[in-house]
Amino acid sequence: MLRAALLVICGGLAVGRWQLAEELRAAPPVSANRQLPTANPIVIPVVGIVASQLKPSFNQARTGHVHHALDILAPRGTPVIAAVDGTIRKLFISGAGGITIYEFDGSAALVYYYAHLDRYADGVREGMRVRQGDVIGYVGTTGNAPASTPHLHFAIGRLTAEKKWWQSEAIDPYPILTAGAADPRPSLAAR
């Protein structure tokens, strides 16, 4: 009786392992360019950066204009991720912004601007749908960014009815990215 019970239990474990292996094989592959999914409406678009590291710079004066963006300092080559689900509307290289990306949110109400990139992530192209957390580029110093200060110049804008990627009403990203933010990194005590 005990032997029969053990055979049933062992057989059940083998079937359970086989089913788990089948489920893993059937699961969609995870791209090296994906981060963990999140339910946040927006995330800080530089991997490893938390809200407490951000410094407001929206209204700071720049040569000939007001900044109207947030500079997120990080080491050169740090992955830049899509802040929201959306569509890459324009890949653009400019004198001021260097290597840039304009992303529209899902409803094409807002545009997210990522500038001073070192390079685009492999496979990024105009018209491509991205999910929040997808790696889209890497922190750099292209354009007019100081060579010694790698950072992401990140801006948010409300699009006009014409939906021109270069034309929007500036929105300060700092309060949006820091509102109720908690450090998602596990504390040493939790390890």
Average pLDDT in the 88-107 region?
A: 94
Q: Which residue has the tokens 């007001």?
A: 66
Where is pLDDT greater, at 151 or 56? 151
Q: What is the pLDDT of residue 3?
A: 45
69 confidence band (pLDDT: 50, 70, 90): confident
Q: What is the pLDDT of residue 57?
A: 79
Where is pLDDT greater, at 88 or 13? 88
Residue 177's SS3 state is helix
Predicted confidence (pLDDT) at residue 179 exceeds the cutoff of 80: yes
Residue 140's SS3 state is strand
Residue 53 CB neighbour total at 10 angstroms:
14
CB 48, CB 74: distance < 8 Å: yes
Average pLDDT in the 157-184 region?
A: 81
Q: What is the pLDDT of residue 67?
A: 56
Average pLDDT in the 119-129 region?
A: 97
Q: What is the pTM of this model?
A: 0.72
Judged by phi (left if over 0) then psi (alpha if -120 to 50, else beta), residue 189 lies in alpha
Q: What is the pLDDT of residue 55?
A: 84
Average pLDDT in the 140-144 region?
A: 92
Where is pLDDT greater, at 128 or 12? 128
